[in-house]
Amino acid sequence: MFEVPKPRQFRYTPRFYDPEKERWEALKKKYADEHPADDTPAAVSESDELAYFEERVRQLERNKRQQPAKLGWRDLFRKRTMPQFHYTPRFNTGDLSDAGSDNTADTTTGLRRPIKIRRRFNIDDEDYFKPVSGTRIILYCFIVCLLLYWIFF
């Protein structure tokens, strides 16, 4: 009956969204609609395309599983960044232009303190939560020891 502003709307993206998998499902659906199960040249091309997409999806998942195990030289010297803050205002008040600035004051209560935004980080930014691995620490210590040995002896 009354128009009530909705609470905070979360932008939901599926965690394991794979566009090739989606294309593969769309192809399966399209061919299932167009051609019922009969052995025609179209069915042969359908099986070829589906086999390609299935193999490609399997290969992508295999690469995704093997990726965390690899440690390359580029990873050793990569700069770790802080997470990006995507501030979404809880209610639509109209003054959305200054919602993300640091020194905004609360206009409804009259507080002149800056608003602190806590724990509103991008969940997808997993690099922020990842601790520095023991292998990397040991490797850095080994490099430092080699440099000290080279300097002093």
What's the pTM value of the predicted model, to 2 decimals? 0.22
Across-strand partners of 111? 106
Written as tens digits, the pLDDT of the chain (153 aa) is: 567 666 666 666 656 667 777 888 888 888 777 766 655 555 567 777 778 888 888 888 888 877 666 677 877 787 777 777 777 666 665 554 544 554 455 555 565 666 555 555 555 666 666 678 889 999 999 999 999 999 998
Residue boundaries of the structural domains of the chain = 15-70
SS3 (DSSP) at 106: strand
Q: At 27, phi and psi to the nearest 5? A: -60, -45
CA distance 60 to 45: 22
31: tokens are: 């061919």
